[in-house]
Structure 1
Amino acid sequence: MARGKKLFTTATPACAVCHTLKDAGAEGTIGPVLDELQPDAPRVARALRDGIGSMPSFKATMSDADIEALALYVSKASRGK
């Protein structure tokens, strides 16, 4: 969880720039509010690898382990777990 939270705020571009996620203190206004969307980890990982809408793909800049850590963090944090 700690690794995923750090990646949420430090990836390039940082997820926190576009997305709102209460646990991360993020208040982005471009992408969906993750606390409302509550995506599961596979959905987040797919979006990170492939990009979606205006969100870029991170597969060239993040390792599979980092993508999985970030996906797990977003999934758990958005559900308040």
Structure 2
Amino acid sequence: MALVAGVGWAADATEIARGKELFGKIQPSCAVCHTLQAAGAEGQVGPVLDELKPNADRVLRALKAGIGVMPSYADKLSDKDMRALASFVAKASGAAP
């Protein structure tokens, strides 16, 4: 298990891998809008996650409620999948603890 920045849970390798898979798989895909080097994503609409370095709590809030033009994914993803995606983004972007 790994502690991921800004989360109230410990993410394991399986959860991080699931989050990476979801980053490019969910519709609309995170990769369409966001740039994140670890996911091979070069989106041009949303923030560059490598620069923003959001912690997992921030990503989770955005997934649940939406933010700006980003839609909520609460009706598309389970809580477990949203946590996995948030953990992956935080770890991959190098978020500070």
TM-score, structure 1 as length reference: 0.97
Alpha-carbon offset, residue 77 of structure 1: 0.1
Q: Secondary structure at the match of 1:61?
A: coil
User: How many pairs does the alignment contain?
Assistant: 80
| Residue of structure 2 aligned with 1:57, choices 58, 61, 72 | 72
Letter in 2 for 1:20: T
Where does the alignment leave 5 or more consecutive residues of structure 1 unmatched?
none
Alpha-carbon distance in structure 1 between the residues aligned to 2:26 and 2:50 = 19
Alpha-carbon separation, structure 2, partners of 1:17 and 1:6: 14
Query: Quick one: distance in 2 between partners of 1:10 and 1:61?
Result: 12
Deviations 1:1-60 (A, max 9, x none): 110000000011000000000000000000000000000000000000000000000001
SS at match of 2:76: coil
Tell me which of 22, 33, 36 is aligned to 1:7: 22
Q: CA RMSD in A?
A: 0.9
Q: TM-score, normalised by structure 2?
A: 0.81
Aligned to 1:43: 58
Aligned to 2:11: none
Counterpart residue number, 1:67: 82
Structure 2: which 5+ residue stretches go unaligned? 1-15
